[in-house]
Structure 1
Amino acid sequence: MERPYILHMFTPGRQMSPFDINMAADAGWQMVVPYAECGLDAIAGLTQDTIFSRGPKGVARTGIFIGGRDALLAADMLDRAAGAMVPPFVVSLMADPSGAYTTAAAMVACTEAALQRQGRGLAGQRVVILGGMGPVGRICGVLAAQAGASVALSSRQGIDAAEEAARQTATRFGVALEGVSGGDRAAVRASVAEADVVLACAAAGVQVLSAEDLACAPRLAVAADVNAVPPAGIAGLGVMDHAVPLAGTSALGIGALAIGNVKYQTQHRLLQAMRETVTPLRLGHAEAFDRARQVLATTT
């Protein structure tokens, strides 16, 4: 009898996301086993319990998925799991905390494609991320910075909170980020006045840019929003818009469901690749971005 494909899913939270469990099952994993309240210090032991019980052939049908809600902690957990491997007992690893890595990958890849339609790329662009303290906002910032953009994380909690989030994230991922205040309308308008790209990563149902705010962004080339719950995070932006002209601006708009479609395909293909690979994979935010670009290249 062939050994089943088993995906062990570790989260530091109280429960693993049902979304991720569904995604794993739909990607062909036969046994999907969630583990809750797994802190950083537990990962090495859990990883070694995962690898040693199946033998070198069994590990080829075994994977580890790291969830949670903290984009930085997930990166640390991914490193810790990789460091606990003992060849030839090596399994594939994937991190996607709160869907942040695949969502950010999809958002930035869609933004990059919209910029390319205008004869430019991310390099040299000024990117302002509203809701930049959350996991999606932080990873969007990392990916955009790694692609050569000048990136600012904005927070409604003010400049101190934004600068601290930028410092922590920049240090962890080795990129340059800055913090800007989004604490009031004047601060938001000042930040978007110099923006080529605005990425709205705020909480669902919160509008971060009104039509009046957009009028203060004369350089804006792309505006993208991950909020699918009314009202739109960016005024005038439809959830299905995919590089559609945004009313009242010269920008192209990208809506939440357009991003979500790319995110879904990216996560599915990564989970599927883990199951099908002969050589163990390590999949983090960078690999998610590469796959999101591939999704766009094959579907548009």
Structure 2
Amino acid sequence: MAKAILHMLSTLKHMSPFDVNMALDAGYDAAIPYTNVTLDEVTALVQDAMFSRAPSAALKTGIFFAGRDAVLALDMLEAARKALLKPFEVSLFADPYGSFTTAGAMVACTEKILKDKKQRELKGSRIVIYGATGVVGYSAAVIAALEGAEVTIVGYSGVERVAKQADEMSKRFNIKVTPADGSSQEMVRDLLVKHEIALCAARAGVQVLSKEDLAAAKDLLIAADVNAVPPLGVEGCGLHDNGVVISDHGALGIGALAIGNVKYGAESGLFKQMVESDKPLCLDFRHAFALARKLV
């Protein structure tokens, strides 16, 4: 009987042990890492894996795209998709740095609390994303914008970098995302005051929003944070909080481990879908969000 084999491609020096463990625990018999992979190498690697097995074993073969660049992972996924040939088609899954499943979980948790406790929808909500130049922030921005939210992405080194990112998002996904300057704490607070939802995806150990910031934001409904390393990204929002009041104005907090539980289930679930599917799959942040919605 054919073994379930996952070929894991990363642009980095090392493959994430987290992703390897997740894949094996989800049902793969073997997870083989390939590191320092470039975009132009994807086609040959995918076809080498594909043509080495009979068509009857094709669905037991998976390709995973890791690294730390959301756009590059999507480009690799597309290159792999174009390299497939019937009846040897294999399944594909991109989740660079866990960003697609983390972002999907973050937005799904926010949507759930927003509906249940604020009687609001994502569509039309004013969302500001801190740490938007990172892979999680990038992915969360795209997911939220595709759902009809009014999304602002914040740059900590001025507006130029996020302006280019907003333009790239617009061209790639046909969405509108507004870039903003968050290079000072005053600017960070000013943006918070103008929005209803704050998604904090800054690097570990960086506090984005203080209690004073939250107190100033009278219209803030929800603040979600994916940083699990002290100091946390949102002061007063606990790791396990999932709709706990964190400000005098009734803003609700969603903590990193509450999001992390859903992220874990989403990544594991997508790996299981690949192992068990009776047709080839091509999975990205949209599928991560769809599954996270079912898990919250």
Q: Which TM-score bucket, shorter chain as reference?
A: over 0.9
Percent identity between the aligned chains?
Answer: 46
Aligned pairs for 1:237-276 within 5 A: 237-276=237-276
1:166-245 aligned within 5 A: 166-245=166-245
Task: Note the 1:137-176 alignment, pairs <5 A.
Answer: 137-176=137-176
Deviation readout 1:201-222 (Å, 9 max, x if unpaired): 0011100111111122111111
* Alpha-carbon distance between aligned partners in 2 of 1:210 and 1:65, rounded to the nearest angstrom: 38
TM-score by length of 2: 0.98
Q: Cα offset for 1:190?
A: 1.4
Task: Deviation per CA, 1:121-147: give whole Å up to 9, x if none.
Answer: 100000000111100001000000000
Structure 2 distance, partners of 1:288, 1:16, is 20
Deviations 1:15-68 (A, max 9, x none): 111110010010010011000111111111111001111010111211110001
- Whether the 8 Å contact between 1:145 and 1:176 is mirrored in structure 2 is yes
Amino acid at match of 1:75: L
Aligned to 1:282: 282
Tell me the equivalent position of 2:10: 11
Contact 2:63–2:92 (8 Å) recurs in 1: yes
Query: Which amino acid is 2:169 matched to?
Result: T
2-structure distance, mates of 1:139, 1:34? 24
**Structure 2 residue 105 is the aligned partner of structure 1 residue 106:** yes
Unpaired stretches in structure 1, ≥5 consecutive residues: none
SS across alignment from 1:132: coil
* Number of aligned residues: 295
Measure the CA separation in 2 of the matches of 1:151 and 1:10: 31
Map Cα deviations across residues 87-115 of structure 1 (whole Å, 9 max, x no partner).
11101110000000000000000000011
- What do residues 140-199 of structure 1 show as CA deviations (whole Å, max 9, x unaligned)? 000000000000111211122221222223322322111111100111111111111000
Whole-Å separation in 2 of the counterparts to 1:126 and 1:226: 19
The answer to whether the 8 Å contact 2:214/2:247 transfers is no
Deviation per CA, 1:253-290: give whole Å up to 9, x if none.
10000000000000000001100001111110000000
- Measure the CA separation in 1 of the matches of 2:112 and 2:156: 28
SS in 1 for 2:56: helix
Distance in 1 (CA, whole Å) between partners of 2:184 and 2:162 is 13
Poorly superposed stretches of 4+, deviation over 3 Å: none
Partner of 2:48: 49
